[in-house]
Chain A
Amino acid sequence: GAVVSQHPSWVICKSGTSVKIECRSLDFQATTMFWYRQFPKQSLMLMATSNEGSKATYEQGVEKDKFLINHASLTLSTLTVTSAHPEDSSFYICSAPDSTDTQYFGPGTRLTVL
């Protein structure tokens, strides 16, 4: 199947700093990518849809100014958590659909905000 990578796999930062997470589709192009958040022992919650060449669309309750999304190319989307706080600590996962609309998921990024 297709491969989606994320970088970094884990990050620890101080409260108030910003963290950028990259999501790449390695062997296919994706005009759309998705960002999810997963709390411990819970399901994935869709945060936003990243659209190549246009603004991201955010789910209700997700602050667009806090979670900045940039879909720079057909293989790269970035999520920047701005002014991170301990409550932003979570597991962030991206996905991208291939040409058959099958979603492939990245390995996730564990963010810990001290």
Chain B
Amino acid sequence: AQSVSQHNHHVILSEAASLELGCNYSYGGTVNLFWYVQYPGQHLQLLLKYFSGDPLVKGIKGFEAEFIKSKFSFNLRKPSVQWSDTAEYFCAVNGLNNNDMRFGAGTRLTVKP
């Protein structure tokens, strides 16, 4: 069965600091990978996704993620965070022909102004 682990439960950064949130997955096949963000009081929004091709994926709001197949990882990065990036971030994975999506536990990011 597929599973997703996110290493950091809560990350606190100051504005302009660089961000990297870890995500590792376990799945016996080809996967699609996603990062979702949930701002306080709002619903999940797609940040970026990887299906195939260039393993470095760029998403909205300056976020990017790199798929490293050998490490089963899909870490999320942003060079300079803003206070408005304060939110919960979820890594998710589904199989190539399977819409059954599994989520990581989430990482709460707090950016101090």
A contact set with B: CB distance below 8 Å: 1, 32, 34, 41-46, 49, 93, 95, 97, 100-108
Given A34-B101, A43-B90, A105-B36, A93–B106 Cβ distance below 8 Å? no
- Considering only CB atoms, which chain B residue lies closest to A33 in the complex? B99
Interface assignment of B112: CB less than 8 Å from any CB of chain A: no
Given A42-B106, A102-B49, A49–B44 Cβ distance below 8 Å? no
Contact of A106 among B36, B43, B99 (CB under 8 A): B43
Contacts of B105 in A (CB 8 A): 42-43
What are 16 A-B pairs at a CB distance below 8 A? A32-B99, A34-B101, A41-B108, A42-B105, A43-B106, A46-B101, A95-B101, A101-B94, A102-B34, A102-B46, A102-B49, A103-B92, A103-B101, A104-B46, A105-B36, A106-B43
Q: What number of B residues sit within 8 Å (CB to CB) of A?
A: 22
Determine if A105 and B44 form an interchain contact, defined as CB atoms under 8 angstroms apart. Answer: yes
B99 to chain A, nearest CB (A): 5
Task: Flag B22-56 by CB within 8 Å of A: 1 or 0 each.
Answer: 00000000001010100000111110010100000
What are the 8 closest A-B residue pairs judged by CB atoms, nearest first?
A107-B43, A105-B44, A43-B105, A43-B103, A44-B103, A97-B99, A43-B106, A108-B43
Contacts of B92 in A (CB 8 A): 103
Contacts of B78 in A (CB 8 A): none
B86 to chain A, nearest CB (A): 15
